[in-house]
Amino acid sequence: MPIKDLEQILSNRIEKGKKLIDTSSTALVAPGENYGGELLGLEITVEDENTKARDIIHAVGKKIPPTKQLQESFNIQVTFRAEILFYEKIVPMLREFQKENGIKDVINCFVEFYGGRLNLNGSDVVDKDAVIIMENLITSGYKNIDRHIGYNLEESRIVIKDLANLQATVLALKLKKPDVFQKEIRPLCCNVLTPPGESQFSEVINVIRDILLENDKIAAYVPKAMVIWNKYENRIYKAREPFVTLSHCDLWVNNAMMKYENGKPIKNIFIDFQLYSYKSPVIDLLNFLFTSVQTEVLQKEFDNLVKFYHSELISNLHKLNCDSEPFSFSKFEEELEIDAGFVLSWTLIFISLVVFGEKRKPDQEVKGSDMDFKSEEFLNKVRSMMPQGKERLYFMIETFGRKGWLRTE
């Protein structure tokens, strides 16, 4: 579907004296591979009005999800607006705050934002004409990691370093400019999916339980894991100071892109800021580790990666002249223990259904049963989960047991 009035959205991107003369678009992902919205690759041709020379702007257009069910599930009236405001308001504010505190290399792990709108009629309602236009990272040399493989150690450290920088900057702004934070950023950090009235995953979690029980080494931990899943299924979260900060809340391989030079990873970009909220930083950290880092890397480096995140968080707080004593590693470990259960409840489902779910081909039809989480066809797909998915689940439950994070009280 063409994007209407594209030139108006790109008014700040198209140089004076040039005009848009043509646009072509292609689907960037297969149907069902991105539930949160339709992604279009755009080639936008602009022409110099005097010389008639032409340039092509490579961009991505993000539209609302195609079905009413997905639009309601993703709470687009809140989350689509929130993503536009993240790029329009929060990113510039964080960069300006860093400059005020002597940081020369300001945070740069976000896609370049070209513009966005909610509709064409000037109302406050997100409709079918809502769109976000941003840089096409693929044409700039970035790519997504294969979700069935995950990040290696070097790639993981790059992502974690950026995450710590982002979350420390928000923490520092909250500490040093509390009035500005409470007025300008805090009200925007309340973006959640629409919770279902009745559990969609009650049958799915029973299948996952049976898969976990296949492993004798973790079988004793499974009953507590199921209690935790039930406890946090509704995703209700209470923010606790002082660690609470901006959390991406959907940080995994598909929502970050990596650039390489001579085969080495050199740069990470975070995308899809539609669910960011005000939560503990450990939620993003643990979600990223368990969903997106190779299991063999986690088996060797899990504790070191957690310590690396914390050291980067403290380093950035120091650069911004903040007292780091309230954020010591012992207190961070307490934070991990408190919020790990919240992460477990989500990742048990997410790893099983999404991370190690079936990859779709561009021409593959999306069937109604693909979203029917109670159908026998769907449950059989979960039962036949690929071995890599089972290994990730086993590692996660073993880690929770080893760390004492299976708190059921």
* 263-321 pLDDT per residue, tens: 999 999 999 999 999 999 999 999 999 999 999 999 999 999 999 999 999 999 999 99
Residue range 311-343, pLDDT digits in tens: 999 999 999 999 999 999 999 999 999 999 999
Tokens representing 356 are 């190690």
pLDDT at residue 367 in the model:
53
pLDDT at residue 366 in the model:
52
Tokens representing 399 are 């880690």
Residue range 116-144, pLDDT digits in tens: 999 999 999 999 999 999 999 999 999 99
pTM over 0.85: yes
Strand partners, 56: 45
pLDDT at residue 28 in the model:
83
pLDDT at residue 33 in the model:
56
Higher pLDDT, 198 or 352: 352
Tokens representing 380 are 């059989």
31 vs 33: CA distance, rounded Å: 6
pLDDT at residue 290 in the model:
98
Contact 270, 109 (CB under 8 A): yes
Decide: residue 316, CB within 10 A, 0-12 exposed, 13-18 middle, 19+ buried. buried
Mean pLDDT taken over the chain: 92
Contact 187, 306 (CB under 8 A): no
CB atoms within 10 A of CB 140: 14
Q: Report how far apart, in Å, the C-alpha atoms of 61 and of each of 31, 99, 345 are.
A: 15, 30, 32
409 vs 360: CA distance, rounded Å: 40
Residue range 388-405, pLDDT digits in tens: 999 999 999 999 999 999
pLDDT at residue 35 in the model:
58
Tokens representing 317 are 């707080």
Angle between helices 281-292 and 153-176 (to 10 degrees): 170
Q: In what order do the strands lie in the sheet with 142-143?
A: 142-143, 256-261, 264-270
Contact 40, 25 (CB under 8 A): yes
pLDDT at residue 51 in the model:
95
Q: Tell me the Ramachandran region of residue 328: left when phi exceeds 0, alpha when psi lies from -120 to 50, beta otherwise.
A: beta
Higher pLDDT, 31 or 239: 239
| Residue 377 one-letter amino acid | E
Mean pLDDT across the stretch 43-59? 95
Q: Is 194 a residue whose pLDDT tops 70?
A: no
Mean pLDDT across the stretch 158-169? 98
90 vs 75: CA distance, rounded Å: 21
Q: Is 363 a residue whose pLDDT tops 60?
A: no
pLDDT at residue 370 in the model:
58
pLDDT confidence band for 9 (50 / 70 / 90): very high
Q: Is 226 a residue whose pLDDT tops 90?
A: yes
pLDDT at residue 359 in the model:
83
pLDDT at residue 235 in the model:
67
Q: Is 365 a residue whose pLDDT tops 70?
A: no
